[in-house]
Amino acid sequence: MVFVNENYLKLKGGYLFPEIGRRVEAFKQANPQLVDRIIPCGIGDVTEPLPPAVIKAMHDAVDELAKRDTFRGYGPGSGYDFLKKAIVENDFSARNIVIELDEIFISDGSKCDCGAILDIFGKDNRLAITNPVYPVYVDTNVMAGNTGLGNDDGSYEGIEYLPCTAENDFVPAIPTKPVELIYLCYPNNPTGTMINHDQLRAWVDYALANDAIILYDVAYEAYVSDETLPRSIYEIEGAKKCAIEFHSFSKNAGFTGVRCGYTVCPKDVHAVTKGGERIKLHSLWTRRWNTKSNGVSYPVQRGAEAIYSTEGKKQVRILVDYYMANAALLRKGCEESGMKVYGGIHSPYVWVVCPSGTDSWGVFDKLLTQLQIVTTPGAGFGSCGEGYFRISAFNSLENIKEAVNRLSGPVFSK
């Protein structure tokens, strides 16, 4: 008899986005005449093609692989230096942040790394996770056996939930109970809101003072439209001693299907053994990569490198601006329909207060069945998400205009 990982049995329900997909599929089956009307604004999946510079670089890389002289086999597990150099120069040196090449680990995306990073942490860390939250942080901890059982409201024993509400501008207060492994994500998914330097500094100071580690997800940093706001936690002094940062090329350069991102694990971040010995997490993460991965494919890494070329940067800017214009339309449309809206200024997500009397799955159903707009119910991101729904601006301009037009109709007007 083979034993299963029973931690999986603690998971409450399916992963949020497949569950939404299931409900949309059921609606399509029951209403085939409405299938073409459906506007998907649920999962944050990009719709616009890859930047031309990326496409060319990937084509060229495939051509290299087609010839004996330029063929490459296994690459370095944590990524090629050509991509790491482009990252260091553009994402860090350009902002006066010193990150070394071997502190960058190229991966198939930040979602994957957010889960994989748990390999290098022990089991008894006190977790602090925002509520609402990108469900991956919670579910991967459940799977890894870092939590207790689930409760009816979707929370799990053993996690210190940090409420993010309109009252605290969706930036959690420093916890009163001690915590060790802290997940933060800004621009925030799902609320679409941002953190400022002082707020982020308070968290870094907390981590430094309490020997805690911050897992900082900046998958949406390209959407920060105010230069005074932090695009990396390493803009904060001391963060290189207490933070690991996750980056993605999905949301800026449209790599949701191509798959590439990177994690920064500075050499100064330490955790301890039960015996009290301080261990560099960088060594463990390197070891993990060398053992469990052969890295991301060469054409994909060449494509990612092209994001940082002069042309690539311009093309990525156009993509980001395109989705941000959509977000502005969604914000305006919802407000004109009498809804209270957050986010959507430094992020492609608009976080909308549910019209009174309807909970977030109720709004989801209403929008799907009456307007054929797919959104994400706030409750799917945690109990503090109840009372909100998220609209993704990742769509064509035409679809967003049509969604706004439908939202202005009787379903949600005052």
Which parts of this chain interact with ligand MLT (CB under 6 A)?
43-45, 111, 134, 189
Shortest Å, Cβ 126 to ligand MLT: 25
Question: Whole-angstrom Cα distance, residue 109 to residue 106?
Answer: 8
Shortest Å, Cβ 189 to ligand MLT: 5
Shortest Å, Cβ 274 to ligand MLT: 34
Cβ-Cβ contacts under 8 Å for 57 (sequence gap 6 or more)? 299, 302, 303, 305, 306, 309
Shortest Å, Cβ 279 to ligand MLT: 30
Nearest 5°: CA angle at 176, between 174 and 180? 70
Instruction: Tell me the Ramachandran region of residue 192: left when phi exceeds 0, alpha when psi lies from -120 to 50, beta otherwise.
Output: left
250 in helix, strand or coil? helix
Between residues 61 and 400, which has the closer beta carbon with respect to ligand MLT?
Answer: 400
Between residues 45 and 48, which has the closer beta carbon with respect to ligand MLT?
Answer: 45
Between residues 259 and 406, which has the closer beta carbon with respect to ligand MLT?
Answer: 259
Comparing every residue's Cβ against ligand MLT, the nearest one is: 44
Shortest Å, Cβ 257 to ligand MLT: 12
Q: Are 79 and 263 in contact (CB under 8 A)?
A: no
Q: How far is CA 65 from CA 52, 68, 119, 141, 257, in A?
A: 20, 7, 33, 39, 21
Shortest Å, Cβ 235 to ligand MLT: 23
Shortest Å, Cβ 109 to ligand MLT: 8
Between residues 44 and 385, which has the closer beta carbon with respect to ligand MLT?
Answer: 44
Between residues 188 and 297, which has the closer beta carbon with respect to ligand MLT?
Answer: 188
272 in helix, strand or coil? strand
The dihedrals phi and psi of 372, each to the nearest 5 degrees, come to 60, 40
Q: Are 117 and 268 in contact (CB under 8 A)?
A: no
Question: Whole-angstrom Cα distance, residue 267 to residue 283?
Answer: 8
In order, the DSSP letters of 278-296 are: EEEHHHHHHHHHHHH---S
Between residues 111 and 346, which has the closer beta carbon with respect to ligand MLT?
Answer: 111
Shortest Å, Cβ 390 to ligand MLT: 8
Q: Are 191 and 220 in contact (CB under 8 A)?
A: no
Six token digits for residue 401: 């205009």
Between residues 45 and 268, which has the closer beta carbon with respect to ligand MLT?
Answer: 45
Between residues 43 and 284, which has the closer beta carbon with respect to ligand MLT?
Answer: 43
Cβ-Cβ contacts under 8 Å for 33 (sequence gap 6 or more)? none
